[in-house]
Structure 1
C-alpha cells in the first residue's frame, strides 16, 4: 500500500497534552509538514504545543480542549474533523491504573474502561463514518500496547483494555478493506513518559523507549497505513516471545518490572 500523502493536510492527534501524543504532533509537523489538530484536556499544554509548532515549523495547528470521555467532547472532535476535512487520525489518549487488583480500586478501573474502551469506540465509530464520506483516502492508527498482547500483572485492567483495542482494529482493518479508510493499531512497550513514571517500576527508566523515537514509529505506521505495528527490535522480540512461550510463563515475566506490593 502506498504511503498516505498528508503534507498540508490536517491530522487529528488525541492525547496531545503530553507524552506520545505531544511528540507525535511535533513529528507530524516537522517530518511530514502535516497540520496537527491536537486534542487534550489541558489548555495550557496544548497552547504551548501550538506555539512551538508555529515557531519551529511555521505549520498551522488547531486546538480542541475537551474530555473525550464526555459525549459532548466526542461530538466536538467529530464536528471539527468534518469541518477541516481531516485526512488521518492518531488516537493516543488513554488511561492506566497500576497496582494489585483490588475492590477498593473499582472507580479507577471504571475510568480506564470508560476511556480506553467505551469512549474510544464511540469516537472511532464517528471518525470512520466521516472518513468514509470523504472523496480521498484516510488512515486511523489507535495506540494499543504490548500489554494488550499478553496478561500484565499489576496493570491488569489496562492490559485487558489494550487487548480490546488491538483486536478491534485488526477486525476493522479487514472490514474496511477497499473502502479507502485504513485502520490499524500501534503497540509499543514501555515509553519514557509521565505515565511510566507513575507505574512504580523497579528499574525506573531502564528499558523504556524514548518518546520521540516512539513517535517516529507511530507516525510511520499512520502514513504507511499499517494494520499492526510494534516499534523497535526489542519490543518485536518481546512480542514474538509472548507468542511462543507458555502463557503462564510470559505472565510471570511481564510482572518482573513492577514492585510487588507489601
Structure 2
C-alpha cells in the first residue's frame, strides 16, 4: 500500500505527554513535517512538547488537554479532529496495573478499563465516523502490546485490555475494506518508558526497546497503513512462538522478566 502523505497535514496523537506518544509526535514533526495534535491529561507537559516541536522543527502543533476515559475528553478530541481536518490518528493513550491480580485495588482496574477499553472504543468509533466522511485516504494506528498475544502475568488486566484492542482492530480492518479509512494495531514488547519503570522488571531497562526507535516503527506502520505490526526481531520471534507453542508455556515464559510479588 502506498505511503499516506502527511506533510503539512494534521495528525492526532493521544498519550502525547509521555512515552511512546511523545516520541511519535516528535517523529511525525521532525521526520515527516506533519502537524501533530497533542492529546494528553498533563497540560504542562503538552505545552513543553509543543514548544520543543516549534523550536526544533518549526512545525505548528495544537494542544488538547483531555482524558480519554471521560465522555467530555473524547468529545473534545473528536471536535479538534473535525476542526483541523486531521487525516491520521496514532492512539497511544493507556494505563497499566502491575502486581498480582488479587492484590490490586479494584478502582485501579476500573480506571484501566475505562481508559483502555471503554474510552478507547468510543474514541475510535468517533474517529472512524469522522474519517469515513473524508474523500482522501486516512489512517488510524492503535498502540497495543505483544502481551496481548502472549498473556501478561502480573499485568493481567492490562494484557487483557490490549487483547480486546487487537480483536477489535482486526475485525474493523475487514469492515472498513473499500472505504477511505484504514486501521491497524502496533504490538511492541517492552519499551524504555516510564510505564516500563512501573513494571518491577528483574533486569531494569535491559532488553527494553529504545522509545525513539519504537516510535519511528509505529509512525511507519501508520503511514504504510499496516493492519498489524510487531517491531523488533526478538518481539517477532516471541509473536511467532505464541502462535505455535502451547499457550500455558508462553504464559510462563512471559512471567519470567517480572520480579514475583511477595
Q: Which residue matches 1:84? A: 84
Q: Which residue matches 2:10? A: 10
Number of matched pairs: 262
Q: Which residue matches 2:252? A: 252
Note the 1:152-167 alignment, pairs <5 A: 152-167=152-167
Q: Which residue matches 2:185? A: 185
Q: Which residue matches 2:143? A: 143
Q: Which residue matches 1:236? A: 236
1:205-239 deviation line (CA, Å, top 9, x unaligned): 01100000000000000000000001111110110
- 4+ residue runs of structure 1 moved beyond 4 angstroms? none
What is the alpha-carbon distance in structure 1 between the residues aligned to residue 210 and residue 69 of structure 2?
28
Asked if 1:43 is matched to 2:43, the reply is: yes
- TM-score by structure 1 length? 0.99
Deviation of 1:111 after TM superposition, in Å, equals 1.1
Gaps of 5+ in 1: none
Deviation of 1:152 after TM superposition, in Å, equals 1.2
Gaps of 5+ in 2: none
What is the alpha-carbon distance in structure 2 between the residues aligned to residue 261 and residue 222 of structure 1?
37
What is the alpha-carbon distance in structure 2 between the residues aligned to residue 103 and residue 200 of structure 1?
15
CA contact 2:139–2:222 (8 Å) conserved in 1? yes
Asked if 1:67 is matched to 2:64, the reply is: no
Deviation of 1:105 after TM superposition, in Å, equals 2.0
What is the alpha-carbon distance in structure 1 between the residues aligned to residue 29 and residue 104 of structure 2?
43
Q: Which residue matches 1:98? A: 98
Question: What CA RMSD, in Å, does the superposition of the two structures yield over aligned residues?
Answer: 0.8
SS at match of 1:6: coil
- TM-score by structure 2 length? 0.99
SS at match of 2:150: coil
